[in-house]
Amino acid sequence: MEKIHLIPYRIEEITSAAPQIPEGVRMIQAPAIWEMAAHGKGNVIAVLDTGCQADHPDLIERIIAGRNFTSDFDGDPENFDDNNGHGTHVAGTAAASLRKGGGIAGVAPGADLLIIKVLNGSGSGEYAGIIAGIHYAIDWRGPNGEQTSVISMSLGGPEDIPELYEAVKRAVDAGIPVVCAAGNEGDDSPQTDEFAYPGAYGEVIQVGAVDFSRKIAPFSNTNNEIDLVAPGMNIYSSYPGGKYASLSGTSMATPHVSGALALIKNIAEKEFQRELTEAELYAQLVRRTVPLGYPKTAEGNGLLALDILQKYERLMDLFNSSIEKTDPE
């Protein structure tokens, strides 16, 4: 059986400083709904990746727990350190803290992070470890009864393994959205299907990448299971050594959506006054997308745009107000 790997990505720059609110976070309009969504507080995003620098200044307050499912660090299950860099970057995009006086903020800076190391320092892992990591995220309970709200996986492999599919379905049935990278084998041709698993499963939320000009990234996979796109080129986030890095790939687009779901969950469940199912959360996510004009195989429902409903509601308020002023009665 082949191993599962990181979705290939590109390191653009490593630096000791970065913009506090990265352009990708701004592009999906996350800051506009932070207050309404309580910054994602009360949600736990499980990041299945290469681990994470637990004492990174922007992540230390966000990491609630972690587990190692690889042979790294002599297989110590308690050591989920990141000896690659990818996992720390992904975690930061999803939920890095919004700190006074510096640092970098993630999409949901009030959410907690459950770090599940399923890939080793070279970026590969066994399917058994990925499957175990998904089940761990589903069954995990925090010190105060916290449960996983979202599972984020910027990884993929060529094989459709039944046990992997069953683990994904179990998560979705438990009400946990599973967000996966589409993959970076794209060839600029939206007519060619390029699949990576678990991203290709219909039950997951598969994320493609765009640049800051809203153009589909040339590396972003195209297939009929793409659900939406998010920023994935030149994305600044946290990086091991207390540093920051600019990376490119659908791996970078994925945590934008994972963090967004924490914000959406808080807003929608407050409106409905109840917990929402995975299907209902997905519907709320899709409502917050804007078509870009590409084939559905490239962009799915479109670009994530979290404030679009609020803009619509403000326009309706203005419209209704003008009607009332002109009503002869």
Q: Which of 238, 248, 251, 258 is catalytic?
A: 251
Instruction: Name the residue among 204, 221, 211 with its Cα closest to residue 297.
Output: 221
Burial of 5 (0-12, 13-18, 19+ CB in 10 A): middle
Confirm whether 5 is a catalytic residue: no
Burial of 256 (0-12, 13-18, 19+ CB in 10 A): buried
198 cis-preceded (ω within 30 degrees of 0)? yes
* 8 A C-beta contact, residue 161 and residue 196: no
Q: Which of 86, 154, 227, 258 is catalytic?
A: 86
Confirm whether 86 is a catalytic residue: yes
Compute the 3-state secondary structure of the chain and give helix, strand, coil in percent, each to the nearest 5: 35, 20, 45
- DSSP-derived letter for residue 84 is S
Q: Under 8 Å CB-to-CB from 139, ≥6 apart: which residues?
A: none
- Show the tokens assigned to 124: 């590969």
Confirm whether 39 is a catalytic residue: no
Instruction: Name the residue among 155, 298, 287 with its Cα closest to residue 214.
Output: 298
Q: Which of 49, 72, 81, 112 is catalytic?
A: 49
Annotated catalytic residues are 49, 86, 251
